[in-house]
Amino acid sequence: MSKIIKIGTRDSELALWQAKTVQQLLENLGYKSELVPVKSTGDIVLDKPLYELGITGIFTKTLDIALLNHDIDIAVHSLKDVPTILPKSIRQVAVLKRGNVNDTLVFKNNEEFLGSKEAVIATGSLRRRAQWLNRYPTHTITDLRGNVNSRLEKLKNNDWNGAIFAAAGIGRIGIRPEESINLSWMIPAPAQGAIMIAAHQDNLDVIEACSYLNHEETEICTTIEREFLNKLEGGCTAPIGALARIKDGEVSFKGVLLSKDGSKKIEVTRTEKLGKHQDIAAYASNYIIERGGKRLMDDIKNEGKKTNVYSTKSLSEEQRLLFNEKVTPKSSDFIKTNPNRIHKHVVKDTIDNVIITSKNAVDALLMNFSPEELQFKNIYCVGRRTKRLVENKIGKVTHSEKNAKALAEYLVEYIEGTEVTYFCSNLRLDDLPNILESNHIKVNEVEAYQTKYDAIELDDSVDSVMFYSPSTVQSYKQKNDKDVIAFCIGETTAKEAKKHFKEVKIAKVPTVESVIELVNDHYV
């Protein structure tokens, strides 16, 4: 190839050092090249918007655009700064042999502060911040940004105990101070210490030339680390560390995800034979996710976001994950229940007709009696979940309906006899007993459990609320006046909600998941 390869680079001292290293390696292979420092994007003429091309990355965007415009032939990057998904038409064509992977602490005077309760450490990296606070929770972290030289100058001019740098960065340009130590306990950023070359996919001659510079072991290790990062959906907004090494025919990997304050940490390690290492990233990311990583990532992503949907029933982890990205939910129980003591004489004989309308009534019965003591001839229920619970714990359900009113109307037509025993709460709707009694069916009410309103005052940012019973609506109104969108689990709950809210939506089926689906359909 006779053409001169144009090497695009940022114009910092470290970026230029990396580009010159690539230039020297190419020249050693007989290729001519020139450096093209790119400072700003300027006026860009492209066929499509940047977001359609997948251009992201604060440190790589300018060079990506220059590649797409064919202003340069290759771009040289610190691989840890490169987004895990490259823009369309741009390819990773080589990774140089890796340098020092460690983070380095540059300190003033001495290291005695490491044993002190109080110290001030400077870093602009969330990952370094989180890992430092995990190890030294009483220390203070201050923000530090800029190029390597300016950050060292700021350390010198401020009353800090130390600052954290990438060992490769300060080592490559020869400015590593003597007062420094490698932090071998700190898991580095994915691909830290590696230099990557990118090119346009159509520039085949240049791709071939750069392929000779590729270091296979470094490529394998950094690919695993970056795939791990990608599968955790991480980037500069999440404290994620990853490091893969190859030794004696084995690939060993360790990864970490932390909360921003370092108080929570999930680690993983994995070793596989070289050649059977392709699933390491998938295994490691799934390991992290299954041990609370998904929730931790969601908390990080939602940090600073204002809650817009509130559930009046505590949601499980699985339920929280069902919301789309437009929803920032919170939840708590607006209704608290306590089972009552039920006298033995209530169930000493067989009861012909029993009505159970909630899980709480089932729990109260089973707290007071064994299943063998509950001799019920006909059991009538409200709700599929209550029915399942009754049949698993007490006995066969004669009939169930989706709400109390529908059950009452059914009983008027089909009940065996003229008397029912209703295990209810101190707070209940009147529909069922009123309908039955108006049709000459005697209702013996047994207060099986106490229901207590336990709402909180919600933030102004909340514009919709998920309700699961009339009681949750009433509880909400005790502490809140705002007219919100009411997402309701069923008709009975919606009837109560319509007394207070202008917009009421009802789930297709009476489940929490169906209410969540209703919320997602609204926030699109």
Least confident of 52-61, 92-101, 470-479: 52-61
Q: How far apart are CA 136 and CA 199, in angstroms?
A: 42
Q: For the chain, where do the domains classified as CATH 3.30.160.40 start and end?
A: 215-302
The whole-number pLDDT of residue 50 equals 36
* Span 77-102, average pLDDT: 93
Nearest one of 152, 171, 163 to 107, comparing CA atoms: 163
User: In a 3-state reduction of DSSP, which class is residue 17?
Assistant: helix
Q: For the chain, where do the domains classified as CATH 3.40.190.10 start and end?
A: 1-96+192-214, 103-183
* Span 315-340, average pLDDT: 88
**Looking at the DSSP assignment, which residues form a beta bridge with residue 207?**
none
The whole-number pLDDT of residue 236 equals 52
Q: Which amino acid is at 460?
A: D
The distance of Cα 363 from the centroid of its chain, to the nearest Å, equals 34
Q: How confident is the model at residue 59 (pLDDT cuts 50, 70, 90)?
A: low
Q: 305-334+455-522 adopts what CATH topology?
A: Rossmann fold (3.40.50)
The pTM of this model reads 0.64
Gyration radius (Cα) of the chain, Å: 32
Judge whether 64 and 41 are in contact, CB under 8 Å: no
The domain 215-302: what is its CATH number?
Answer: 3.30.160.40
Judge whether 371 and 393 are in contact, CB under 8 Å: yes
**Per-chain mean pLDDT for the chain:** 91
Tell me: pLDDT of 55 over 60. no
Is 81 annotated as catalytic?
yes
Considering the candidates 71, 81, 333, 363, report the single residue annotated as catalytic: 81
Least confident of 8-17, 31-40, 214-223: 31-40
Q: How confident is the model at residue 41 (pLDDT cuts 50, 70, 90)?
A: very low
The whole-number pLDDT of residue 51 equals 35
Burial (CB count <10 Å: 0-12, 13-18, 19+), residue 145: exposed
**Looking at the DSSP assignment, which residues form a beta bridge with residue 338?**
450
Q: For the chain, where do the domains classified as CATH 3.40.50.10090 start and end?
A: 305-334+455-522, 336-453
Q: Which amino acid is at 157?
A: N
Tell me: pLDDT of 366 over 90. yes
Residue 276 corresponds to which tokens in the numbers above? 């059977």
The whole-number pLDDT of residue 53 equals 43
The domain 336-453: what is its CATH number?
Answer: 3.40.50.10090
Options 3.40.50.1980, 3.40.190.10, 2.40.50.100, 2.120.10.90; CATH for 103-183 is 3.40.190.10
Q: How far apart are CA 243 and CA 228, in angstroms?
A: 10
Options 3.40.190.10, 3.90.550.10, 3.40.50.10610, 3.90.1150.10; CATH for 1-96+192-214 is 3.40.190.10
User: How, if at all, do strands 335-339 and 442-453 pair?
Assistant: antiparallel
Tell me: pLDDT of 170 over 90. yes
Q: How confident is the model at residue 52 (pLDDT cuts 50, 70, 90)?
A: very low
